[in-house]
Structure 1
Amino acid sequence: MRRILVAGTSLVCLSLGLAACQKEDEAGKPEVIRPVLSTILKSQSVQVRGFAGKVEPRFETKLGFRTLGRIVRRDVSVGDQVSNGQEIAAIDPLALELAVQAAEASLSSAKAQLANAASTEDRQKALLSQSSATEATFDQAQQAHEAARASVVRAEADLTKAREELGYAVLRSDFDGVVTSLQADVGQTVTAGQQIAVVARPDVREAVVDIPEAVANPIKIGSKFGVSLQTDPTIQTSGVVREIAPQADEATRTRRTRITLEQPPEGFRLGTTVTAYLTTAADPRIRIPATAILDKDGKTFVWLIDSKQATVSAKEVKLENRTNFEAIVADGLTDGDRIATAGAHSLTDGQKIKLTDGNPL
């Protein structure tokens, strides 16, 4: 019996000893200090935003034949300069030429019938004056004459139409410009109205950019932009907004904006990629990077840094105009606050931190 009590007492002492050792180990374990990146917040009232786009012509025409046919000639290539009335392409004119010949023959026949109807009317009129013909016969001759005259008018209109359609066999430019696109080649059969070429006027050029809907709202017709080449930002010009799409694109949520360039340099050729800059004076707002934002339980937080204690604490904020890159703080932060800009999902309340961005706490 004594042996059992001694054994039990030994086990209890052993357990207490292990627990004490474990507490000593935990007490001696150093606290984890997490390195973080941070920023000190400051309101900004002037914004400079850049939007990528390209140079496009303000005026361009999509040309196509007005009749069905097979292309037998194409006289231009993409990039060629064309003048007003210059031939661009042509279709086989044989069927149209035959139509003109048929119309000419129909006109000749109608004129012959008119001459015969006129002679018949004159003859019936003479016979009626001699009482050798009836009034009804003369009326029939007179009606036949009028019908023959109408047939001549119709035949002349048909001939004019056939000759006009023969002119459609040649596609011509409507103004001086540059060929920017070709959609058909020799040997291809095209339908009436099918697009063959696009001719643009290079004298009036525009920068076409897609601007996010949240940014585009304050932009108005006549707003000023600075525009520079992406390949050489030193080549710059200015522009004025001429047109803003009334609705945002469903997929990108951007609104297409056309900026008329004012005396663009030679480097602003059609198709060149550019960057349009907008400088606006807005109400002072605090901007934070998207990497500083923590979404939890339907709320939005950032990690506010306590410089004295070298710790972080979750601070609920309200945001507006949030994108994948940044957001504007509507409420919850003030100028001078320091927040962590990375590792938002791996920090905990009260956690000790040290800064790795060179800014002292």
Structure 2
Amino acid sequence: MIHRAWFFAPVLLAGASLVACRKDEAHASEATPSTEHDAGAKDPPGLVRVDRALLDQGRITTAPVTRRPLKGDVRVPAETVASENGSAEVGALVAGRVASIDVRDGEAVKRGQVIATIDSPEAARVGADAIRARARFVAATRKHDRQKALETDRATSGLAIDEAFAELETARADVAASRSLLASLGIPEPGNADGALLLRVPLRSPIDGVLVERLTSLGAPVGPEKTLFRVVSNDRVVVEARWTDPSAPAPGVGTKVDLFPRGAGTNRSACKGAVIATLAVVDDKTRAKRVRIAPEGPCPIVTPGSFVDAAFTSEGGDAGAQENGALVVPRSAIIDVRGAPTAFVTAGQSGAFVARVVRLGRVTNEDAAIEDGLAEGDRIATTGAVLLKGELMRAELE
């Protein structure tokens, strides 16, 4: 029995030592946390991680949010429209059918030039009424002259003379009315009717311009309610911009404006213009005010229907006035994420950014004023926001 006890004693001591070593290792492991990011852990919403190499290569750059004046100009989309006297619709005042079209689409026309003619039974009736009115006037004139002659011989009564004079004046008024109606229709006064009376109504351009639209064809029926042609003058145009910036008053009359082709940027030569009116009414759908701009001199990019960019400068108005003391970031730092303006703020770890929705104030082509969402000193991505947005979208899909 003694020999057996000495045999098991070393084995028990070795087992106890092994258990003690394992416990010590477990306590040491618990006391020393891992400093590496767990690849399997889920990042909080809005957190984006990118390779540090993107920052080293300059594809993503950062800068602090500061208070400074805005730089750049306020640029808004605009459309060229005809002025009040720069567009005209041409149609027939009587029913009929198109007999001729004398001007091609795109052809220049002068004021009063005949564009088309209309065969109109109604015009024939107006002509016949004019002939009848003229005949009644001739008869009334002769009757009145006879009554005046009889008055000299004392062979008529005063009542007869008065009646003849009234008939003459009525006939005279009928002739004047028929001539006015013919003139309004553009129909020359017809001669004596010795056969079929066929009158063609001419359609004339009311302004100098270009025939830009034809809405009829030969033989087509027409009526007073239908527009047949549109004429537009290239010299009588205005540019209409939509001012949607609620943080600044709309530009006043006289504010200088540079007009650029839509999306051309500042590398293209601009036309000069000036604000001629700002409509106080706010559009119900766009919540914008209409600002009307007159080009200063010929401008090839300003033609009716064309779209341009209007850049409001600081000369002569409030539109370009700089906003002092505001939090300002480069415009490239703001990007649309799910319909909200967003900036990417650096997080504690290198290459980590947090997407933060901001409320914008004034925005120019270079800068954006921040009203809420960022604080002075926050470090944000000023370039590479598109890359960060892509990483954010990809992370949300995983």
Flag whether TM exceeds 0.5 (same fold).
yes
CA 318–96 in structure 1, closer or farther in 2 if over 3 Å, else same: closer
1:208 matched to 2:240? The reply is yes
Q: Assess if the C-alpha contact under 8 Å between 2:334 and 2:342 holds in 1.
A: no
Task: Specify whether residues 264 and 335 from structure 1 end up closer, same or farther in structure 2 by C-alpha distance, changes over 3 A only.
Answer: farther
Paired amino acid for 2:71: V
Cα offset, 1:24, TM superposition: 5.6
Q: Would the alpha carbon gap of residues 210 and 92 (structure 1) be closer, same or farther in structure 2, given more than 3 Å must change?
A: same
- Does residue 1:330 correspond to 2:371, yes or no? yes
2:230 alignment partner, SS class: strand
The structure 1 residue matched to 2:226, chosen from 159, 179, 194, is 194
Q: CA RMSD in A?
A: 4.4
Residues 275-318 of structure 1: CA deviation (Å, up to 9, x unaligned) = 2222324124324625699x9xxxx99886466x7698999998
Q: Quick check: 1:246 aligned with 2:280?
A: yes
Alignment CA distance shift 1:231-1:45 (3 Å): closer
Alignment correspondent of 1:97 = 124
Q: 1:25 deviation in Å?
A: 12
Could you say which residue in structure 2 is the equivalent of 1:145? 164
CA deviation vs aligned residue, 1:141-167 (integer Å, no higher than 9, x gap): 123212222232123224313432451
Is 1:60 matched up with 2:87?
Answer: yes
| 1:286-297 correspondence to structure 2 within 5 Å | 286-287=328-329, 289=334
Structure 2 residue corresponding to 1:179, chosen from 192, 211, 218: 211
Give the CA deviation at 1:92. Answer: 1.1
In structure 1, how many angstroms separate the alpha carbons of the residues matched to 2:170 and 2:159?
16
Code of the aligned partner of 1:74: I
> Counterpart amino acid of 2:135?
S
Tell me the equivalent position of 1:357: none
- Measure, in 2, the Cα distance between the counterparts of 1:50 and 1:88: 41
What residue in structure 2 maps to residue 132 of structure 1? none
Count the aligned residue pairs. Answer: 314
Q: Distance in 1 between matches of 2:133 and 2:356?
A: 89
SS of the equivalent of 2:282 reads coil
Q: CA deviation at 1:204?
A: 4.1
Q: Does 1:217 align with 2:213?
A: no
Greater mean deviation of Cα atoms: 84-93 or 114-123: 114-123
Please tell me whether the aligned partners of residues 115 and 204 of structure 2 are also in contact (alpha carbons under 8 angstroms). Answer: yes
Q: CA deviation at 1:223?
A: 0.9
CA gap 1:302/1:118 in 2 versus in 1, 3 angstroms = closer
SS of equivalent residue, structure 1 residue 178? strand
Matched, 1:80 2:107: yes
Counterpart CA distance in 2 for 1:26 and 1:196 is 88
Aligned partner (choices 282, 296, 302) of residue 322 of structure 2: 282
Q: Higher strand fraction: Structure 1 or Structure 2? A: 1
TM-score (norm 2): 0.62
> Alignment partner for residue 74 of structure 2, among 44, 49, 52?
49
Instruction: Provide closer, same or farther for how the CA distance between residues 25 and 147 of structure 1 changes in structure 2, counting only shifts above 3 A.
Output: farther
**Alignment partners' CA distance in 1, 2:226 and 2:358:** 54
| Structure 1 residues 79 and 26, CA gap change in structure 2 (3 angstroms) | farther
Q: Partners in 1 of 2:214 and 2:311 — Cα distance?
A: 33
Question: Mind listing any 5+ residue stretches in structure 1 that lack a counterpart?
Answer: 1-16, 129-136, 347-361
Deviation at 1:255, TM superposition (A): 2.7
* Matching residue's letter, 1:151: T
Question: In structure 1, what residue type is equivalent to 2:371?
Answer: A
Q: Which position in structure 2 is the counterpart of 1:354? A: none
Q: In 2, Cα distance between the equivalents of 1:125 and 1:228?
A: 84
CA distance in 2, matches of 1:269, 1:313: 47
Runs of 5+ consecutive residues of structure 2 not aligned to the other structure: 1-22, 40-47, 51-59, 188-200, 314-319, 393-398
Deviation at 1:81, TM superposition (A): 0.8
- Amino acid across the alignment from 1:70: R
Describe the shift of the 1:274–1:162 C-alpha distance in structure 2 as closer, same or farther (beyond 3 A).
closer
- Contact 1:46–1:281 under 8 Å retained in 2: no
Residues in 1 aligned to 2:250 and 2:369: alpha-carbon distance in whole angstroms: 16
Q: Structure 1 counterpart of 2:215, which letter? A: Q
Shift of 1:231: 7.8
SS of structure 1 residue aligned to 2:312: strand
Q: Tell me the equivalent position of 2:57.
A: none
